[in-house]
Amino acid sequence: MNKRNRKYIYILLALSALLILMTGCYAKKSDKKIIGISAPSNEIQRWALETVQIRDELYKRGYDVITQYASNDVAMQINQIENMIAQGAEVLIIIPVESASLGEAMDMAKEHNIPVISYDMLITNTDAVSYYTTFDNYGVGRIMGEYVRGKLDLDNASRTYNIEFTSGNPGDNNAAYFFNGAKDVLQPYLDNGVLNIVSGQTTFTQCSTPGWSTEKAQHRAENILASFYQDTDVDIWISGSDITSLGIIGALGNSYNGSYPLITGQDCSLLNVKYIMEGKQAMSVFKDPTLLIEATTNMVDEILSGKEVTVNDTETYFNGIKTVPSYLCKPVYIDADNYEDVLISSGFYTKEQLLED
Ligand code: GAL
C-alpha cells in the first residue's frame, strides 16, 4: 500500500470513528423513552397550560416529550400523531380535536403497538385507545344542576324560573355528559313547572355549540334573547363551559335589559373567574389539573414498566367499539364565596392574577 492510499484509509477510519461516536451520542440521547402529547390547540387556556404541565412532569420522570397543537384541524392532528409515531413515541397522550375523527392515526398507533391515553376527551370509534383519564363528566353537569337547585331553593320555590341551556360541541364526547348531568338534576323541576325553558329548545342538539365556539354561543343566545326575552326575564342559563359562558355574557350585554341571570360554567378560566368575582357569572366547575396530570403521568409509568394500570371506572365510557378503562377525577364548583379557598390555596391562580386588569 503506498503512502497516499494509507492516508486515505486513515481519513476513512477517522471518519467512521466520528460516525460511530455520533451515532453513539444519538443512541444515548434516544435512550430516554419518547412520549407524544397531541392537543387540539393552545388557544384554549386549559390545553395550553395542561400540556405544558404534563410535559414538565414527564421530563421530571425521565422521558423525552414531543408536544404538538393542531390548530383545531383534524387532518393536521392526524398528521402530527403519525409524525410522533415515526419519531419513536412509545406512548401517546391525545386530546382529540373531534372525538370520532382520528381513525387513520389510531390505526397507525395500533399497527405499531403504541398505547394511547385519551386525555380528558374520549377518542371514539376505535379500539386503539387503551386508557382514558378524565373527570367525572356526568358529575360536572350534575354539579351545575345541583348548584342551581341549591341557590334558588327549587324544592321550596313559590314562583317559576325561566331557564335556557347552552350545550357544547356535538363532536366532543364529553358535551352530552355535561348536558345530561345538569338536565337530569333539573328535570323534576321542569316537569312540575318550577322551571320553564321559554325558547322551547330542550334537547342537547338544539342547544349545542359546534366547536365550543364563543361566537356561535353568543349568536344563538342573542337570537333567543331577541325572540323570547323582550318582555320577560331569563333567570338561569346553564352553560356547558366557560367558553360558551363568555358568549352568553356577551349576548346579555348586547341584547337584554331584564334582570341578570345565574350563569354556570366550567374550567375556571381566568376571565370567567374575574366575571364570577364581578357577579357576571355565578359559578364554574373546577377540574384541578394536578389531579388529572398525576393520574395520566402515573399511567405512563405503569404502562412502560409493565405494571398494572390504575383505573377506577371500567363501565361508563363505551367509545362505540370498546369500553375504555378510565381513571375519573373528582370535579368541584367555585363561586364568589369560595374561589379564594379553592383556586388560590390550590395554587391554580395567584391573588395578583385575579386582581390584575
Ligand atoms: C371539554 C372539556 C372541558 C372544556 C370543554 C371546552 O371536553 O372537558 O373542560 O374545556 O371541552 O373546551
How is the chain split into domains, by residue range? 30-129+288-329, 137-287+336-343+349-355
Taking 90 as the threshold, does the pLDDT of residue 288 lie above it? Answer: yes
Q: For the domain 137-287+336-343+349-355, what is the CATH superfamily, name and number?
A: Response regulator (3.40.50.2300)
Q: Distance between CA 198 and CA 8 in Å, rounded?
A: 89
First to last CA, the chain: 80
Strand ranges of the sheet holding 89-94, from the earlier edge strand across to the other edge: 64-69, 34-39, 89-94, 116-119, 131-135, 326-329
- pLDDT tens for 175-217 read 999 999 999 999 999 999 999 999 999 999 999 999 999 999 9
Q: In the predicted model, is pLDDT for residue 13 greater than 60?
A: no
SS3 content of the chain, % helix, strand, coil (to 5): 50, 15, 35
Atom of ligand 1 nearest to the CA of 44: 12
- With the most atoms of ligand 1 within 8 angstroms of its CB, the residue from 212, 287, 333 to mutate is 212
- CA angle 137-140-146, nearest 5°? 145
Q: Are 253 and 284 in contact (CB under 8 A)?
A: no
User: Does this chain's domain 30-129+288-329 share its CATH topology with 137-287+336-343+349-355?
Assistant: yes
pLDDT in tens, 48-91: 999 999 999 999 999 999 999 999 999 999 999 999 999 999 99
Q: In whole angstroms, what is the distance from residue 224 CA to residue 211 CA?
A: 20
> Which atom in ligand 1 lies closest to the alpha carbon of residue 172?
7
Which residue from 45, 72, 120, 208 has its CB within 8 A of the most atoms of ligand 1, so it is best to mutate?
120
Q: Residues near ligand 1 with C-beta < 6 Å?
A: 44, 46, 120-121, 172, 174, 212, 241, 243, 266-267, 287
Report the CATH architecture of 30-129+288-329: 3-Layer(aba) Sandwich (3.40)
Quick one: which atom of ligand 1 is closest to the CA of 212? 6
Q: For the whole model, what pTM was predicted?
A: 0.88
Q: What's the 241 CA to ligand 1 centre distance in angstroms?
A: 7
C-alpha 195/C-alpha 183 separation (Å) is: 11
- H or E stretch at 145: helix 137-151
Contact (Cβ atoms closer than 8 angstroms) between residue 267 and residue 284? yes
